[in-house]
Amino acid sequence: MHELRAATLQNYLELAASRDIDGYWILRHAGVSPALLEDPENRLPAAAVLKVLDKSAQKSGCDSFGLLLAERRTFASLGPVALLLQHLGTLREVVTAAATYRRHINDIVTVDLEEVDGTALIKIAVSSDYASVQASDFALGTAYRVLTGAAGGRWQPSSVHVTRAPPGDPAIWRRFFAAPVAFESSFYGFACPSAALDEPNPRADPTMADHVRRLLDLVDLPGEDASVTDRTRRAIALLLPRGQTGLAQIATYLAMSPRSLQRNLADERQTFAGVLGEVRRELAQTYLAGSGRSITQISEELGYASPSAFTRWFSAEFGCAPQAWRSARQAQPTGPPHPWKV
């Protein structure tokens, strides 16, 4: 399942309110819990996020809603990748790094560079499964924020290109881009002189860039072809602290129907109850042996209504109370975290 960082919807609710639409309703309609937007590093199903964009454009009557949302993003909202990009030596390196670390930003946008007769074309493409007008506009606007932010405002394209028809309100586009926009072009992206890509960045710091690369390479990202079981485990681990442990809630997060989730798990010889129990057992042991969390905190993070309910479940699973289990394991190392743990 392709995913996007929750930072993709940064300031979405404020934009929705400014356009007189109910952003909370649209989020729930698309299967996105508003609580997930509180942490920009949460991962959201790409299909659900794009449903938010398309429904918002429809409800607001604004055919440039995707670009308006991109306008409200900041360079810093890219997270750790922003730290890398701002310390690279040239914009050419930035484009290369953005392509290399694209999955730290999202799973559905690719960045390609073509050069012909001294002109560079930076092409921004949304995966064909998700390439709506709003998604493509948003990706283009975000890419513009990335490139101009990494360059510290010293770079602007000669022209901006989009395949879509001219919008109802072109003033939005003129305000956002400091360059002419060519509608109904052959690609989404930017054109500029090739030489502009090699202008040195006075803020470049190769040592810092190397440090950030090492950190990014350590980040465990879910495989784009991860099994339904692994995706379900990740979703459960993310939603457990919010008490959202029901089949319907997990299925909504994965942009599936409950029946479809059950069927896919059965194809992998799993059941939803079995996966939920496994995640709880492994997280309970990890939290008890490897952290100072109280029993109350652990019960909340595992989605239990009370410490007594957690204690009853734990005693049935492990044959002793949580505190007794912790005391017995206190001196033992917890080992590395589970690869699917959020």
pLDDT at residue 63 greater than cutoff 90: yes
3-state secondary structure at position 45: strand
Measure CA 289 to chain center.
30
pLDDT over 70, % of the chain: 93
Residue in this structure with the two tokens 């290399």, named with its chain if needed = 100
| Domain around 211 | 66-218
Measure CA 327 to chain center.
38
Residues 70 and 93 in one domain: yes
Dihedrals phi, psi of 90, to nearest 5 degrees: -145, 165
Q: For the residues of 213-255, what is the DSSP string, one character each?
A: HHHHHH--PPPTT--HHHHHHHHHHHHGGGT--SHHHHHHHTT
Pairing relationship of beta strands 109-116 and 159-161 according to DSSP bridges: unpaired
Residues 191 and 277 in one domain: no
Residues 203 and 105 in one domain: yes
| Mean of per-residue pLDDT scores for the chain | 87
Q: How many residues does the chain have?
A: 342
| Domain end position, chosen among 169, 184, 218 | 218
- Residue 10 counted as domain residue: no
Contact 222, 3 (CB under 8 A): yes
Dihedrals phi, psi of 71, to nearest 5 degrees: -65, -25
Residues 90 and 194 in one domain: yes
338 CB-near residues (< 8 Å, 6+ apart)? 282, 286
Q: What was the pLDDT predicted at 176?
A: 96
Number of domains in the chain: 2
Closest of 279, 266, 269 to residue 317, by C-alpha: 279
Residue in this structure with the two tokens 């509180």, named with its chain if needed = 38
Exposure on the CB side of residue 1, measured as CA atoms within 13 A: 26
Closest of 341, 97, 90, 96 to residue 217, by C-alpha: 97
Token representation of residue 208: 């810092």
Q: Which CATH number goes with the domain that contains 276?
A: 1.10.10.60
Burial class (CB in 10 A: 0-12, 13-18, 19+), 165: exposed
Residues 168 and 146 in one domain: yes
The pLDDT-based confidence of 335 (bands split at 50, 70, 90) is very low
- Residue 335 counted as domain residue: no
| Interval 11-32: pLDDT, tens | 999 999 999 999 999 998 888 8
Residues 208 and 71 in one domain: yes
| Interval 167-180: pLDDT, tens | 999 999 999 999 99
The pLDDT-based confidence of 87 (bands split at 50, 70, 90) is very high
Dihedrals phi, psi of 251, to nearest 5 degrees: -65, -40
Indicate the helix (H) or strand (E) that contains 161: strand 159-161
Residues 250 and 322 in one domain: yes
Contact 106, 5 (CB under 8 A): yes
Q: What is the largest CA-CA distance in the chain?
A: 73
| Interval 207-253: pLDDT, tens | 999 999 988 888 766 655 568 888 788 778 777 777 777 888 888 77
Q: Output the CA–CA distances (angstroms, integers) from residue 115 to 121, 163, 316, in the order listed.
A: 6, 20, 65
Please give the Cα distance from 224 to 244 (Å, whole number): 24
Q: For the sheet with 119-126, list strands across it.
A: 109-116, 119-126, 189-193, 159-161, 181-182
Contact 135, 110 (CB under 8 A): no
- Residue 313 counted as domain residue: yes
Residues 175 and 301 in one domain: no
Residues 245 and 209 in one domain: no
- Residue 31 counted as domain residue: no
3-state secondary structure at position 10: coil
- Residue 8 counted as domain residue: no
Residues 192 and 242 in one domain: no
Q: What was the pLDDT predicted at 239?
A: 76
